[in-house]
């Protein structure tokens, strides 16, 4: 329960209709896309301007009430679950494109804009904004920035952090800050823009973002290569990059995923393949043709079983369907789908997939793996049932071991989904005790009273490292 004086103040700031503390509002802001997490906030507020955000923050910091900023709640790390109660701030009303600067090729947007709406608009003007998380039809630019989301185009074009060049943000105190600007070069002090990107709503509330746009590629080609040998597929990935080709997309599906996808989408995929690579190259037509030809030769050298290059856009779409249906197909298998996000150096992909498969057998849980081979970002995905507590326990153990394996192979515990609550107990494994201290120090400077998204990123306790059983 919030202090009535505070609720009155919040109502006065945003108007009666835009502050709610009825049960309906609380329940529907108690979850996000992460399975099995839920906690009720005490209120929900929908600001429409930076000034309102600032005023809200001033009021909340006076009462020391926590705040969780929320886009569409599509994150998969518990990032918007209000574990310590407080107020959820929904950014949806702040959804305007504020400025399009065609001279500097930048766009300035409010955080609540839906990513796909932004991308479509930009593309209709003949420009290109590459970050394309699979959730872009629902996720917001603000959520993308806070999680530093990446997508299928990440390998060649980078992720959200490579396109955010300026931010306006509100601190826990209610102060408004501006970082960066329409500048491609800016070394005035620490890079606060980059620090806020990926800060998961724990350092400041982003209220405006200036994004870099680039010219779109002129053409695109798509191919699918299937391998009986996992290491053949993995070597192909390394060989492509070694030969100095950076494909626009380089996606991977393992055998369990292939089976599920084929069963769902009836694409006639061969079920005895160990791996499928989906490869796209874009750019000038001559370069694209040359690259694709070279990639085809590499695939052949690494004994790809079949190689298909799409002749038309429709055919390409058909090939893309396989990868796109992976999530949908897996989601239909069992009630609870846990999509994780372990990342390894790309030379270690085959080893990682092997390890995941062994771990899944060891704990007797179903885990299929697909993901972005080009950048080593794998999505081991468990299909299970939240009501089966015994099985869920085994799934948790399996994932703990998967994270440990990723780190052992020189990887990380999350490549794009963020730490949130889910990965918080493992963060120290990755960055070490002194890394933790440094990060906590930064948090303290921005948010001394720990009001912004508390309980995220930093866990009360670090999980003890499991002993990896190589048997």
Ligand X SMILES: Cc1cc2nc3c(=O)[nH]c(=O)nc-3n(C[C@H](O)[C@H](O)[C@H](O)COP(=O)(O)OP(=O)(O)OC[C@H]3O[C@@H](n4cnc5c(N)ncnc54)[C@H](O)[C@@H]3O)c2cc1C
* List of residues contacting other proteins (CB under 8 A): 22-25, 27-35, 40, 46, 72-74, 90, 92-93, 114, 135, 137-138, 260, 263, 327-328, 331-337, 385-388
Rounded Cα–Cα distance for residues 419 and 457 (Å): 5
Binding mask 124-163 for ligand X (x = CB under 6 A): ---------xxx---xx-xxx-xx-xxx------------
Report the sign of the C-alpha dihedral through residues 59, 11, 72, 111, in that order.
negative
The residue among 23 and 244 lying less far from other proteins, judged by its C-beta, is 23
Q: Which of 363/399 has CB closer to ligand X?
A: 399
- Cβ neighbours around 170 below 10 Å, total: 27
CA distance 133 to 50: 26
Q: Strand pairing partners for 214? A: 128
Decide: is 82 part of the binding site for ligand X (CB under 6 A).
no
The pair of three-digit structure tokens given for residue 348, joined into one six-digit string: 């270690």
Nearer to ligand X, 80 or 363 (CB): 80
Q: What span, in angstroms and rounded, lies between the C-alpha atoms of 100 and 108?
A: 6
CB nearer other proteins, residue 68 or residue 155: 68
What is the DSSP code (8-state) at residue 216? Answer: P
Which of ligand X, other proteins, none sits in contact with 25, Cβ below 5 to 8 A by type? other proteins
Rounded CA separation 352/57 (Å): 44
Q: Would you count residue 70 as binding ligand X (CB under 6 A)?
A: yes
75 near ligand X, rule: CB under 6 A: yes
Whats the size of the chain, residue-wise?
471
- 305, interface contact from ligand X, other proteins, none, CB < 5-8 Å by kind: none
Residue 407: contacted member of ligand X, other proteins, none (CB under 5 to 8 Å, by partner type): none
Choose which of 416, 428, 443, 454 interacts with ligand X (CB under 6 A). 416
| Position 166 contacts ligand X (CB under 6 A) | no
Q: Which of 25, 26, 56, 68 binds ligand X (CB under 6 A)?
A: 68
Residues 215-254 within binding reach of ligand X (CB under 6 A): none
User: What's the closest the beta carbon of residue 420 comes to other proteins, in angstroms?
Assistant: 14
Return all residues near 282 (Cβ < 8 A) that are at least 6 apart.
156, 217, 218, 219, 220, 221, 248, 288
Q: Are 296 and 264 in contact (CB under 8 A)?
A: no
Rounded-to-5 percentages of helix, strand, coil across the chain: 40, 20, 40
Q: Which residues bind ligand X (CB under 6 A)?
A: 32-33, 68-76, 79-80, 91, 111, 133-135, 139-140, 142-144, 146-147, 149-151, 200-201, 205-206, 327, 416-417, 453
């Amino acid at each position: 329960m919030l202090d009535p004086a505070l609720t009155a103040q919040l109502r006065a700031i945003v108007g009666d209709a835009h502050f709610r503390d009825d049960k309906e509002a609380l329940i529907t802001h108690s979850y996000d896309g992460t399975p099995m997490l839920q906690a009720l906030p005490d209120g929900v507020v929908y600001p429409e301007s930076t000034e309102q955000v600032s005023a809200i923050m001033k009021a909340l910091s006076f009462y020391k009430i926590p705040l969780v900023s929320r886009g569409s709640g599509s994150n998969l790390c518990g990032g918007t679950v209000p574990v310590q109660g407080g107020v959820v701030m929904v950014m949806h009303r702040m959804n305007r494109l504020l400025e399009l600067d065609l001279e500097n090729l930048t766009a300035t947007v409010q955080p609540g804009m839906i990513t796909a709406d932004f991308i479509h608009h930009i593309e209709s003007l003949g420009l290109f904004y590459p970050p394309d998380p699979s959730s872009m039809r629902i996720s917001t630019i603000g959520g993308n920035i806070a999680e530093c989301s990446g997508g299928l185009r990440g390998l060649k074009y980078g992720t959200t952090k490579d396109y955010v060049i300026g931010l306006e943000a509100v601190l826990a105190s209610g102060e408004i800050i501006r970082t960066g600007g329409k500048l491609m070069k800016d070394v005035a002090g620490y890079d606060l823009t980059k620090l806020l990107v990926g800060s998961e709503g724990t350092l400041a509330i982003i209220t405006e973002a200036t994004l870099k746009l680039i010219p779109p590629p002129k053409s695109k080609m798509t191919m699918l290569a299937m391998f009986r040998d996992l290491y053949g597929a993995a070597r192909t990935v390394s060989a492509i990059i070694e030969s100095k080709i950076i494909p626009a997309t380089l996606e991977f599906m393992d055998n369990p995923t292939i089976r599920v996808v084929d069963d769902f989408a009836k694409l006639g995929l061969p079920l005895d393949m160990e791996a499928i690579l989906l490869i796209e190259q874009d750019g000038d037509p001559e370069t694209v043709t040359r690259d694709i030809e070279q990639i085809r030769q590499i695939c052949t050298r690494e004994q790809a079983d079949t190689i298909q290059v799409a002749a038309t856009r429709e055919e390409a779409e058909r090939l893309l369907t396989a990868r796109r249906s992976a999530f949908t197909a897996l989601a239909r298998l069992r009630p609870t789908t846990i999509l994780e996000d372990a990342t390894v150096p790309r030379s270690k992909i085959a080893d990682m997939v092997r390890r995941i498969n062994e771990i899944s057998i060891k704990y007797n849980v179903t885990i299929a793996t697909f993901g972005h081979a080009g950048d080593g970002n794998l999505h081991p995905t468990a299909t299970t049932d939240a009501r089966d507590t015994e099985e869920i326990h085994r799934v948790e153990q399996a994932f703990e071991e998967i994270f440990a394996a990723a780190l052992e192979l020189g990887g990380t515990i999350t490549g794009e989904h963020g730490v949130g609550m889910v990965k918080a107990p493992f963060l120290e494994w990755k960055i070490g005790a002194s890394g933790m201290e440094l990060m906590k120090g930064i948090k303290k400077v921005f948010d001394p009273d720990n009001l912004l998204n508390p309980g995220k990123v930093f866990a009360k306790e670090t999980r003890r490292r499991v002993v990896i059983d190589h048997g």
